[in-house]
Chain A
Amino acid sequence: MLLVQYLGLAAVLFCLGVYGVIARKNGVMILMSVELLLNAVNLNLIAFGAAYDTAVGQVFALFVIAIAAVEVGVGLAIVLLIYRNRSTVDFDQIDELRG
């Protein structure tokens, strides 16, 4: 197996996640796209760790998984709060700070 096969798969996942973050306006769906981004990064870390025969890649992937869980918890709490105050999860309507 070539390393670049795994890296290419991770790149595809990352680009799909970027597309989702840009093109979605539902807050929950934006968070799902961010999960795709973080998973692509995990695959990269583990592939590099395996290619260079070190455990550090896996350790960093574990850190990324923990941070992703934190991000989803706080992010969904914020989305819930926006929904309770505005009755919408449409992030294009949350633009009070736009200049």
Chain B
Amino acid sequence: MEAAFTILSLLVIVAAWRVVTTQNVVRAALALVVVLAGMAPLFIMLAAEFVAVIQVLVYVGAVVVLFLFGIMLTRSPTDVPEDPDNRRRWPGLIVAVGLFGALWFSLTDAFGNTSVDPKRVSDTADVGSNLLRENVIAFEAVSVLLLAALIGAIVLARQD
């Protein structure tokens, strides 16, 4: 468990680093695939199999394809790829490191001794009943939101 976590987290962190530093947009999208697919086993280690499957279906299956279509349709007219970074690299690095320091300090302070030990093999039934009992209004709201986003995306991207 411990070794699998170490390997997976190293893979995910290196791939995420590639996503935010590589100069090539397509490579960033492919590194994003590694991040998103690497999260699924971590979810399974936390006894969230259903979310892991949905992660693979929605992110790796749909979102990445959308990104690749977006890259394809917004390629720069000149063949010279332009620098995807702006001049705020150092401020960004300072903000990110400072934020991580603050998060790490407060997390170890608050949850330093809490252990996570998923006892049950699967609780997808609990997820389903929670989704359709306690949170049914949010569930329906998300379906309306998806419809609105569908129409909105069509209206925005339509050519006329």
What residues of chain A have their CB less than 8 Å away from a CB belonging to chain B?
1-9, 11-20, 22-29, 31-33, 35-36, 39, 42-43, 46-47, 49-51, 53, 55-59, 61-63, 65-70, 72-74, 76-81, 83-84, 87-90, 92
**A9–B123 touching, CB < 8 Å:** no
Number of A-B contacts (CB under 8 A): 237
* Contacting residues of chain B (47-73) with chain A, CB-CB under 8 angstroms: 47-48, 50-51, 54-55, 58-59, 62-63, 66-67, 69-71, 73
Residues of A within 8 A of B55 (CB): 42, 65
**A72–B95 touching, CB < 8 Å:** no
What's the Cα separation between A3 and B108 when bound, in Å?
10
* Contacting residues of chain B (1-39) with chain A, CB-CB under 8 angstroms: 1-2, 5, 9, 12-13, 16-17, 19-20, 25, 28-29, 32, 35-36, 39
Majority DSSP secondary structure for residues of A touching B: helix
- Among residues of A, the one whose C-beta sits closest to the C-beta of B90 is A23
Instruction: Select A16's contact among B16, B112, B120, B153, beta carbons within 8 Å.
Output: B16
**A29–B25 touching, CB < 8 Å:** yes
With A7-B107, A73-B153 already in contact, the answer to whether A92 and B47 are too (CB < 8 A) is no
What's the Cα separation between A1 and B1 when bound, in Å?
8
- Among residues of B, the one whose C-beta sits closest to the C-beta of A44 is B107
What's the Cα separation between A83 and B159 when bound, in Å?
13
